[in-house]
Homo-oligomer: A and B are copies of this chain.
Amino acid sequence: MSKKYNVAVVGATGAVGAEMLSTLEERNFPFNDIRPLASERSEGLTVKVKGNSYKVQKLTEQSFDGIDFALFSAGAGRSLEFAPHAVKAGAIVIDNSSAFRMDKDVPLVVPEVNPEALKKHKGIIANPNCSTIQMVVALKPLHDYARIKRIVVSTYQSVSGSGHKAVTELAEQTNKLLTLQEITPKVYSQQIAFNCIPHIDVFLQNGYTKEEMKMENETKKIMDDDSIKVTATTVRVPVFYSHSESVNLEFAKEISPDKARELLSAFSGVVVQDKPVEDLYPMAINAAGRDEVFVGRIRQDFSVKHGLNMWIVSDNIRKGAALNAVQIAEKMI
């Protein structure tokens, strides 16, 4: 019999945590015990995995005895506090927060892109930001072929990236506005229904948001290439699931749209949807609930030498978070 693993999920009742549990089930991850952990608020709830019920336990420093993999998705604060305890207890931590992503001792991994980085881990492996993951999956085969010099990206990010509460807020706000009721934004500082908010995560001194700088810094780290220039504008749109990205690329050498389609079609985890005459291009509503990164609208950028434009869409909760974390665990076993 092959080995089975004990898996803890920290933040098990959150949007990403719940998706981690169902991803473990769907992918037949060889688990023995599942230990759902959350804050006191969720203590005593039960979650179901493969027909078995598991009681949600309160996250403490002692939560990780006997755990092989601890998947964290409960915010950077909790990761910083509790991941070291999980490591001390002998678990491998796969952390979905931003806490350790830029730490030199922590690999930042997208399994299709840089699996080799896993070898250098010291107990903690970081899951990149959702908007970065889907972009680098689509860029990796193109970078290997023609070396990316510069990326200009504008995002169209769904509310599920902000958790269950934001999904509810979009639905409720939309409903209230359509029935002429007053609304009070809570999760976001602005109305999200029927609006675009050019503001994700907090603003930094340089005028960029943290989300925008994540796309720059994490891309360089995952691609292991500091020479790639990145500039990002990240925007929240009234969509429930899946992030869309308008990505403009400048390469060191010639790469035609046909060549890009060929490389992307052959790359693991990517689906090319690019037949404009049949109205076929990636869209958020079609990517929701799917595992792949969808790429389309691939066309030559005539404004620069060796340029391409493309449109990249993926489910931010799946490939952008839960699936990528479980894939990392799979690579480790």
Contact = CB atoms under 8 A, between A and B. Distances in A.
A237 B238 CA distance: 8
Contact of A198 (B171, B206, B285, B297): B297
A218 to B, nearest CB: 15
A302 B231 contact: yes
Nearest to A190: B283
A231 B301 contact: yes
A300 interface: yes
A206 B300 CA distance: 8
Contact of A150 (B151, B279, B303): B303
A239 B199 contact: no
A105 to B, nearest CB: 26
Taken together, the copies of this chain in the complex come to 2
A207 B244 contact: no
A31 interface: no
A299 interface: yes
Nearest to A279: B189
B248 A191 contact: no
Max count, chain B CB within 10 A of own CB: residue among A170, A174, A298 = A174
Given A156-B156, A174-B174, A208-B299, A238 B194 contact: yes
Contacts of A284: 194-196
A277 interface: yes
Interface in A147-187: 150-152, 154, 156, 170-171, 174-175, 178
Interface in A230-262: 230-231, 233, 235, 237-240, 244, 246, 248, 257
Contacts of A306: none
Interface residues of A, number: 58
Nearest to A228: B303
B299 A206 contact: yes
A304 interface: yes
Contacts of A198: 244, 246, 281-283, 296-297, 311
A276 interface: yes
Contacts of A143: none
Given A198-B244, A198-B246, A279-B190, A238 B238 contact: yes
Interface string A194-238: 111111000100111100000010000000000001110101011
A263 to B, nearest CB: 17
B178 A303 contact: no
A307 interface: yes
- 9 residue pairs, one from A and one from B, having the closest CB atoms: A207-B299, A229-B303, A154-B246, A154-B154, A203-B276, A231-B303, A233-B246, A195-B285, A231-B301
Interface of A: 150-152, 154, 156, 170-171, 174-175, 178, 189-191, 194-199, 203, 206-209, 216, 229-231, 233, 235, 237-240, 244, 246, 248, 257, 276-277, 279, 281-285, 296-304, 307, 309, 311
